[in-house]
Amino acid sequence: MLKTYKSVGINLLLFIIISFPALAQRFQLTKEYDGSGIILPKGVRYDQLFRQGEIVVNVKGAKTTSKGEHDYSCFIPKGKNGIDGFLFVSHESNDTSAALGDGGGATVFEINKIDGRWINKGAFNAVDFSKVGGTFKNCSGALTPWGTILSAEEFPPASNAELYNDGSGCRDTSDFNGMKRYQNMGWVVEIDPVSKSALRKLYAMGRCSHEGILLMPDSVTVYLTDDFTPSVFYKFIAEKAGDLSKGKLFAYQQNANGNGGTWIHLPSDMKSLIESRNIALQRGATSFVRMEWLTLVDGKIYISETGQDEINLDKSAMINSTWANHIQATKNEKGEYDYPFGAVLEFNPSSNSIKPLISGGNGLKNADKHFSNPDGITYAKLKGKTYLVINEDIIKNTRGRVPEEFLKRDKVVNEIWWLDLSIKNPVVDDLKRFLIAPVGAETTGGYFTSDYSTYFLNVQHPDTDNPEPFNRSVTIAVGPIVKKKGKNKR
């Protein structure tokens, strides 16, 4: 169900959003938005590509229905024309499937762009994770220059019982590769999209609640985020470019004044790697609050730190760690750390300094404009400007994070925002709204084609009573409406 944001009188081509109203009011949304579909700017449309429950084919040729919880996506071009290629979609799940394997998953399928619209070609192919002992909640990821995909296993279980989940999760809890089966979850997994199979788990990168993966241009350095509280910011340096199976793992420690930092070398034995977060905290790594996705833009790394309500941490949880400089001021009267709206952080690899680029909350000029709990993040370069494209994934619908009407209905509403990076010291008022998701859904997996004309996007876990296609997880391609012979191609 496609709707347009009618109060935005604008025609878009290649996502030119410069004339978006900077002060679009959140309370006005309820006049046009009933929550059942998505709202896009005038002149922008979407193509539906892949839904939860589609017929997929496993590596043995058997057919079954696909998994859901669509999360990371990336486009792998077949040639130089940019209109033929493969789309990879991960599944942030832990469920049972005899044909696809228990736990998480991923799907690869071919797509093609014709007359401005993306269509599917061929079958949906499920990735086989049996070689690596299965996988768990495949979240964010990265596409490597050598053609493989790195997939993050998020929220690893703390026991085999949690992994098993009363028979509705991973049913095989036997030891694997010298570890308890639950310990084999929570790593970065390298996948070959051509053979549709997992190649290896990259144990040298440590075990944590892996979320963001950023492979630097040197093909040696990898920055990793940890979706947990306290969260550790990691750096991995491979022994050899193009081979991430061996290397050294480091944890970030911020200077007391917040103007720089150092990297703590972590032990590389398997026992320590399994407990990489606790080892890092014991050695004084700086704590953050649920680090999510990250992206490299012109030498700076931008990280979404989603935040959390009422964080009650005693010394046993913090171990030997201290909060990042920007979080210390948020301690409330209960003695709890309260970081409800999160922030987008800017990290400078040259100086090792990290600071908030923009903090969540209400607009200063318009209190009805609200930005909360950033999660998926990427960027676009258009008309000489560079924009961060930020997805919300609100942790609760209170504190003004949704319009009052939706709070009364106890519904969740998330949005996508664009931020012009040329703005110094940006605030919420500087954000430009691009998309409003269906109720219940987070948007994730945002990935642009190289010319920024298409934005692939996953609409994850929408309310099941929404009308189709937004009553289950769905992958879409968002782009401008192409006019031909005076008519819109629909």
Read off the pLDDT of each residue in 359-380 and give the average, rounded to a whole number: 92
- Determine the Cα–Cα distance for residues 435 and 247; give it in Å rounded to an integer: 40
Kindly report which listed range (102-111, 364-373, 446-455) carries the lowest average pLDDT score: 364-373
pLDDT band at 12 (very low <50, low <70, confident <90, very high): very low
The tokens for 218 are 């040197």
Write down the pLDDT at residue 3.
35
* Domain total in the chain: 1
User: CA torsion 311→315→321→327, rounded to 10°?
Assistant: 30
For the domain that residue 106 is a member of, what is the CATH number?
A: 2.120.10.30
Closest CA to 281 of 324, 240, 244: 324
CB 304 within 8 A of CB 372: no
Those residues whose C-beta lies under 8 Å from the C-beta of residue 46, and which sit 6 or more positions away, are 2, 38, 40, 457, 476, 477, 478, 479
CB atoms under 10 Å from CB of 245, counted, come to: 15
The DSSP H or E segment spanning 342 is none
pTM of the predicted structure, to 2 decimals: 0.93
At 478, the amino acid letter reads V
Q: What is the tens place of the pLDDT at every residue in 176-235?
A: 999 999 999 999 999 999 999 999 999 999 999 999 999 999 999 999 999 999 999 999
Q: Residue 130, SS3?
A: helix
Kindly report which listed range (51-60, 332-341, 454-463) carries the lowest average pLDDT score: 332-341
Q: What is the tens place of the pLDDT at every residue in 78-92?
A: 988 889 999 999 999
Read off the pLDDT of each residue in 346-358 and give the average, rounded to a whole number: 97
CB atoms under 10 Å from CB of 163, counted, come to: 25
Give the CA diameter of the chain.
68
The tokens for 74 are 């990336």
pLDDT band at 459 (very low <50, low <70, confident <90, very high): very high
Read off the pLDDT of each residue in 425-433 and give the average, rounded to a whole number: 96
- Determine the Cα–Cα distance for residues 416 and 67; give it in Å rounded to an integer: 25
Q: What is the tens place of the pLDDT at every residue in 281-304?
A: 999 999 999 999 999 999 999 999
Beta strands in 409-473 (DSSP E): 415-420, 432-436, 442-448, 455-460
Those residues whose C-beta lies under 8 Å from the C-beta of residue 461, and which sit 6 or more positions away, are 68, 69, 440, 441, 442, 473
Instruction: Provide the domain limits for residue 397.
Output: 2-488
Q: What is the tens place of the pLDDT at every residue in 234-247?
A: 999 999 999 999 99
Helices and strands in the chain, H and E counts: 5, 35
Which DSSP state fits 135? B
Write down the pLDDT at residue 79.
83
The tokens for 75 are 């486009």
- Determine the Cα–Cα distance for residues 330 and 399; give it in Å rounded to an integer: 15
The tokens for 474 are 């769905």
C-alpha 158: how far from chain center: 23
Read off the pLDDT of each residue in 99-119 and give the average, rounded to a whole number: 96
